[in-house]
Amino acid sequence: MKSNWKVLTLIAILSSAITLAAYSFLGFNKRDVVFNESSTPTITGRLAALTGNGTSAPGDFAYAAESATPTVVHIRTTVTRTVRQQQVPDIFREFFGDEFGGAQPRQPRRQQGQASGSGVIISKDGYIVTNNHVVQDADQVEVVMTDKRSFKAKVIGTDPLTDLAVIKVEAGGSLPAITLGDSDNLKLGEWVLAVGYPLDLESTVTAGIVSAKGRGIGILNQNVDRNDRNADTPIESFIQTDAAINPGNSGGALVNLRGELVGINSAIASATGYYSGYGFAVPVSLVKKVTADLLKYGNVQRGYLGILPIELDSKRATELNAKVGRGIYIESVVDNGAAKTAGLQKGDVIVKMEGQPIDSDAQMREIIGRRRPGDVINVTVNRGGTERDFKVELRNRNGGRDVVKKAEATTASLGTLGAEFEDISARELQQAGLSGGVRVKKIVDGKLAETDIEEGFIIVKANGKNVKTVKDLQTIMANVKEGEGLMLIGMYPGSSRMYYYAVPV
C-alpha cells in the first residue's frame, strides 16, 4: 500500500548551505554581496583522497565535515502567539455573571515561545540562508556560531513558496562562508553530508546518499492561500537523502564530499516527526536564484510560462490521446502569455526544457523557478508525434517582462488574516437585515487572532467598501499594501450593533 506523502511529511527544521569558487556580485543597499561559487570540480590533492580513486569510490568524510561545519549556524527564534480562550456560552453568563467571565468576551492572551533551527553563512559579511519556516513570524532571531559567538539577526527576505529565507548578522569581521556547489550534477547514490543542529544539540554531521531528485511531496501547499485562485504554486523539486536529519536541522546544509553546498535541508517524511529514513533538501540551483532575488530586489522574481500543465503517465496519456507517455501535457495556454506568444498550443506535450528531458511537473517548475521575467528558455514539445523546438520568453505575473517591485508584490491575501471565511446564505442575510456579508468561520492564527474579533463575526465592510462575498474581501485585501491597515465593520448574529476592528496588515 502506497504511503501518503502529504500526511507523513512533516516540516523538520532541516538544512541549508551554499557552495562557491568563482565570484558572483549582487547589488544590495549600495554594497556588493560576494558569494563563493564552485568551478568545474577538479579532484586533486586532498580532495582526491576523499573519493579514493577520484571518480566515484567513497572515502574519508572528514574534509567535507571540517569545511562545512564552521559555516553552519544555530538559529534560535522567539515567537509570540495569540491564544484564544474558549468563549463562555451566553446561557452561563446570564445565570452566573462575572464568575464565568461576565458579559464581555474573554480577551485573547499573548504567549511567547522559542524555536530552533539551522542556517548557512553564504557571504563573509554576514548573510545567512535558512528555511522560511525557521524564521517565519519571529519577533527575535538569534544566531549562534560554532565558536559560541552569538548575534542578533535581521530578516532580510523570505519566500514561503520555496521555504527559503535570508537573514543578516553584523559580526564585525570576516565570517567563514560556504562554497555553493552544483545540484544539477548530483548523481543518485552519491555520498552527501547533512550538517545542522538537530533536537537542539550542538553542531551535528550525518552521512547518507542521494536517494532521489526532483521529488515533489506537497509539503509547501500549506503556504498557499486557498481562497486565492491566483495564488502562485509552490516550487518543490527536492533532493531526497537518507542522511539522518531531525527537527532542528531545518535550514542547515546538505553538502557533497568537497564540502560544497548542494541543498538546504527542509523536511522529513515521518509519521512521528522524527527521522524515519527520508529527508528532503531544496537544491542549491534554486537556492542561488531565490537568494539572489531576495538580496537584489527584496522579493523573488518569478517567470511564468502561461500554461495549465498535466503531468503524464501511461494512463493519462491514453485518456488525453497524447502521442507520448511521459512529459507535461498542455491543457490550455493563457491568452497573451509566454507560451502562446511563442507558439505553444493546447495538446502539445513538453518533453524537454533547456535540453533536459522533462518527466514531472516538479522538475519543470524548478527549471522555470530559476529564471526571471524576460529570460528565454528552450522548450521542446511533441506535437502530433513530431518534436518541435521553441524559444519562450518568460513573463511576470502581470504579463510583462520587467522586474516586479517589492511594493507591487507584497499585497496582502486572505491567508494573512489567518482565518477561514464563508459566504452567508440569502435566508440568513434576510433574517439579519443585511444585503451581503462574509462570516468569519474559524480563526486559526495570524492577524485576526491578534484582535478582539470572535468567530461568527459578519463582515459587511472592509476599508469603506461593501463586502458581499469572500471574493469581494479577497479583492479588497489584494489592494492592501505591506504596512497598511484594514478596517473591518460588521456585526455578530443576534445583535444589531455594528463593531469596528482595526487589523494591522
Ligand-binding annotation for 181, yes or no, is no
Q: Is 398 helix (H, G, I), strand (E, B) or coil?
A: coil
The gap between the terminal CA atoms of the chain, to the nearest Å, is 45
Residue 55: CA count within 13 A, CB half-sphere: 1
**DSSP-assigned beta bridge partners for residue 249:** 13
| Residues carrying an active site annotation | 133, 163, 250
Ligand-binding annotation for 399, yes or no, is no
Ligand-binding annotation for 293, yes or no, is no
Residue 456: CA count within 13 A, CB half-sphere: 7
CB 417 within 8 A of CB 476: no
The amino acid at 417: L
Lookup: cell for 454: 470572535
Residue 110 phi, psi (nearest 5): -100, 130
**DSSP-assigned beta bridge partners for residue 280:** 240, 267
Distance set, CA 81 to CA 116, 138, 158, 450, 453 (Å): 16, 10, 20, 9, 16
Ligand-binding annotation for 118, yes or no, is no
CA 379-381-387 angle, 5° bins: 115
CB 351 within 8 A of CB 387: yes
Ligand-binding annotation for 250, yes or no, is yes
Lookup: cell for 327: 512529459
Annotated binding residues for substrate: 133, 163, 248-250
Annotated binding residues: 133, 163, 248-250
